[in-house]
Amino acid sequence: MLSNHIQNGIETAKLAWSRLPTSEETQSSDPEPGSGVNGSKVESLDYEIIENYAYREEQARRGKLYIGYSVMVKWFFSLLIGIGTGLAAVFINLAVENFAGWKFAATFSIIQHSYFAGFIVYMLINLALVFSSVFIITQFAPAAAGSGIPEIKGYLNGVDTPGILLFRTLIGKIFGSIGSVGGGLALGKEGPLVHTGACIASLIGQGGSTKYHLRTRWLQIFQSDRDRRDLVTCGCAAGVAAAFRAPVGGVLFALEEVTSWWRSQLMWRVFFTSAVVAVVVRSAMGWCRSGNCGHFGSGGFIIWDISGGQEDYSFQELLPMAVIGIIGGLLGALFNQLTLYITYWRRKYLHKKGSRVKIIEACAVSVLTSLISFGLPLLRKCSQCPNLEENSGIECPRPPGMYGNYVNFYCRRDNEYNDLATIFFNTQDDAIRNLFSAKTFHEYSAQSLLTFLVMFYSLAVVTFGMAVPAGQFVPGIMIGSTYGRLVGMFVVNFYSKLNVEEGTYALLGAAAFLGGSMRMTVSLCVIMVEITNNLKLLPLIMLVLLISKAVGDAFNEGLYEEQAQLRGIPLLESRPKHYMRRLTAKEVCRNQKVVYFSRVVKVADIVSALRGSKHNGFPVIDYGRNGETLVIGLILRSHLLVLLQSKVDFQHSSLPSGSRDGSLTVRHNISEFVKPVSSKGLCIEDIHLAPDDLEMYIDLAPFLNPSPYVVPEDMSIAKVYNLFRQLGLRHIFVVPRPSRVIGLITRKDLLSEENEESTTVELQSTSV
Ligand code: ATP
């Protein structure tokens, strides 16, 4: 049918490519400049199925068996993603815990003799680790810097930032995280794990890495952007599930925070992947507990079991808890704003000067962090250890950094501990465990908590945006739990008759700060419950999250949205802006001069069109019997480049190709048109054509998308926006009002059995 339609009324291919005249000869408006890593341009993905002739032929060949096979492979891939991400998380944790363990053990043994020498060793180890991280990022994998969540969010929203899902990015992310987290910077490994999961998913989806010759053919089944999108969603959920040992939190994180399109089949697969991760991580933990993994034992993975804490809460406590929510919203919004300014300044002035500046910057921040975390506890007075109950699980004192609890650091007596060192001079997981601790004595002074809050908040702001892999979850939890505990101390004194736990307030503070900064609600709530193993606190966590999100929203956007904007990632949020209701499609396209091709087009004209514009999609027109113009479809730039490079479709004649009955010939396999994921792909400068080639013609009919989405010129941009967002489109044609209607389709037509039967018959006859 398609070929008949195209064949109808073709006289000669006229104008090859040209500009449809518009009333005003002005330049087409450029979209907001998107510059991803290294200033490379972000590009939209083709989530729409290009139903061209090659695709239709292939669909007709596929039977029910193939559908069953592809479903099975999808589940198998989900399993592989779960296993891969789980193992990557175990490896990162194992390395971080061991590096941190060795660092603290070496420092502690030296400070027995000299605190200055101890500091030098501590600082140098941190510096070496941070240097390794920033070196990997600047020299090998620039796309692995930061948490990667804004870029992955962009990818799932339909925008590809070059390099984010490459094999080298995965390697950079894993080893870079080990250096930056092990080096004691004010950042976490959880965001990078989401990116790691996404990279693993994408690599599995494309059957490995082409560049590094690590590719297997039998895995190369899902090659469209759409299929990869589903796999990357599974990878994101797996990353969160691995980072927090929170499988349900992982599923909800993918749903609430990163994806733009969701459907029930995907939910099942994401759920399965998260469950696999949970099993892998738990098995690895079990094995490590028996001492097989050096310093990595029960710590490392975030799980702060605070069961045994506050059993119940009273009505009066709701007020201070609401205050925690408000402070969380304010501090979170302030964090977003400050990091936005600093990142902007960095990108504009500092990072432009090259990788040497990035390395110096990271090293300077590392020295500063070491100085603060080692130096400030030296200024604190130590406190007497209380008489702790036996089997309470708490030990006091302990040498610094030796598996948490109360650290004896620069104390005169053996039974004293330094409360500031207990937070600063420890791994972040141990520090948080201490801050969340319940049923203990009032071990922190307000002065120490305040000092830590101010210092760590400032460090986290400065560290954010450096050229190292960096997550914001753990710094957020540290900041939130510190101020939460401060509020808790006040509440304990105020409501002395109630059974109030400071640890509970620390937990609520952590939830509130994360809610105020990241603006997640459901997923964060479930993650907090999963990592603390305390279901009783669920209503309280919900309360503070709702308040902190509402307060934060009053000031600015969430952390990831702001960072995405700053990086030039054009995210389409779930709802169109209000002004869009008044604007029509015609008004938006007013100044455009449409660049289009005729059905049979001269090679030289394609080349000059591709060189002369950066557009990624072009309408293709044909001429009816009476000479009227027919828009027969949309051709993608990437497909044109494949045709130019392969040359197999070049013809001498300017008449349409194909046989007499009108059917078209396709000499390409559909996989040849697949653009490599997250890399630049072909560009016109890579293609070299001889002068004779330029005189040839190509018939575009077999390769174009004959059914692009079309909207009438009067449609409001709000409606166009919803179409784009909900269908994951890349191009929409704006056309004048159609002259006639050939039919109407309603819900019942879509479900009609008659349609199904007729399609089956048609398919059978085509495959014969
Ligand atoms: P993508 O989302 O595919 O990465 P883009 O918006 O970055 O695309 P272009 O395809 O070059 O880049 O689009 C830039 C502007 O040009 C847009 O405003 C768009 O409406 C317009 N445009 C796109 N394709 C054409 C075309 N074939 N002719 C005329 N204008 C076009």
Residue pair 609/644 in contact (Cβ under 8 Å)? The answer is no
Rounded Cα gap, residues 621 and 632, in angstroms: 5
From 592, 594, 595, 709, the mutation candidate for ligand 1 (largest count of ligand atoms within 8 A of CB) is 592
Rounded distance, CA 119 to CA 89, Å? 30
Q: What residue's CA is closest to ligand 1, atom 13?
A: 615
Cα 677 to middle of ligand 1, angstroms:
21
Please tell me the least confidently modeled range out of 195-209, 347-361, 563-577, 652-666: 652-666
Sign of the dihedral defined by the CA atoms of residues 375, 378, 381, 385, in that order: positive
Residue 296 confidence class, pLDDT cut points 50, 70, 90: low
Q: What are phi and psi of 500, to 5 degrees?
A: -100, 135
Distance 618 CA to ligand 1 centre (A): 9
- Please give all residues whose beta carbon lies within 6 A of any atom in ligand 1, as ranges: 28-29, 31, 43-44, 592, 594-595, 614-618, 730
Segment 346-371 shows an average pLDDT of 92
pLDDT of 26: 30
Length of the chain: 768
Q: Atom of ligand 1 at shortest distance to CA of 613?
A: 11
Residue 662 has pLDDT above 70, yes or no: no
- Shortest CA distance to 148 belongs to which of 183, 180, 125, 126? 180
Say what the pTM is: 0.86
Supply the DSSP string of 657-705, one letter for each residue. Answer: -S-TTS-----S-GGGGPPPTTS----GGG----HHHHT-EEE-TTTSB
Q: Which tokens hold the place of 217? A: 């053919």
Radius of gyration of the CA atoms of the chain, in A: 30
Residue 401 or residue 630, greater confidence: 630
The region that residue 668 occupies, defined by phi over 0 for left and psi between -120 and 50 for alpha, beta otherwise, is beta
Say how far apart CA 28 and CA 710 lie, in whole Å: 20
The string of pLDDT tens digits covering residues 233-282 is 999 999 999 988 899 999 999 999 888 888 888 899 999 999 999 999 98
C-beta separation of 531 from 303 below 8 A: yes
395-403: long-range contacts, CB 8 A cutoff, minimum separation 24:
399/108, 400/104, 400/107, 400/108, 400/111, 400/425, 400/426, 401/100, 401/101, 401/103, 401/104, 401/105, 401/107, 401/108, 401/425, 401/426, 401/427, 401/430, 402/104, 402/105, 402/108, 403/297, 403/299, 403/430
Give distance in angstroms: CA of 591 to centre of ligand 1. 12
> 577, exposed or middle or buried, with CB in 10 Å at 0-12, 13-18, 19+?
exposed
Q: What is the pLDDT of residue 206?
A: 80
How are beta strands 43-44 and 159-160 bridged, if at all?
antiparallel
pLDDT given at position 36: 46
Which of helix, strand or coil describes residue 41? strand
Give the mean model confidence (pLDDT) for residues 463-491: 93
Q: Say whether pLDDT at 2 is over 50.
A: no
CA-nearest residue, atom 11 of ligand 1: 615
Cα 17 to averaged position of ligand 1 atoms, centre (Å): 16
What ipTM, to 2 d.p.? 0.95
Atom of ligand 1 nearest to the CA of 616: 10
- pLDDT digits 0-9 by tens, 641-652: 989 988 888 888
How do residues 508-541 score in pLDDT, each as one tens digit?
Answer: 999 999 999 999 999 999 999 888 887 888 899 9
Determine the distance separating the centroid of ligand 1 and the alpha carbon of 615, expressed in angstroms.
5
Contact 378, 410 (CB under 8 A): yes
The yes-or-no verdict on residue 148 having pLDDT over 50 is yes
How much of the chain is in helix, strand and coil states, percent to nearest 5?
Answer: 60, 10, 35
- pLDDT of amino acid 617: 94
Q: How many CA atoms lie within 13 A of 647 on its CB side?
A: 11
> Is residue 6 scored above 50 in pLDDT?
no
Ligand 1 atom 15: residue of nearest CA: 30
| Residue nearest ligand 1's atom 22 by CA | 615
pLDDT at 222 over 60: yes
Q: Residue 12 has what pLDDT?
A: 31
Report CA(613)–ligand 1 centroid distance (Å): 9
The tens digit of pLDDT for each residue in 298-344 reads: 555 656 655 555 666 778 888 999 999 999 999 999 999 999 999 99
Q: Taking a C-beta distance cutoff of 8 angstroms, is the pair 344, 564 a contact?
A: no
Write the secondary structure of 417-486 as one string of H (helix), E (strand) and C (coil). Answer: ECHHHHHHCCCHHHHHHHHHCCCCCCCCCHHHHHHHHHHHHHHHHHHCCCCCECECHHHHHHHHHHHHHH
Mean pLDDT of the chain: 84
Taking the centre of ligand 1 as the mean of its atom positions, its distance from the CA of residue 208, in whole angstroms, is 32
For a mutational test of ligand 1's pocket, the pick from 616, 700, 730, i.e. the residue with the most ligand atoms closer than 8 A to its C-beta, is 616
Range list of H helices, 558-615: 559-566, 585-588, 603-612
Tell me which amino acid residue 653 is: S
Determine the residue of 20, 28, 45, 583 to mutate for testing ligand 1's pocket, defined as the one with the most ligand atoms within 8 A of the Cβ atom: 28
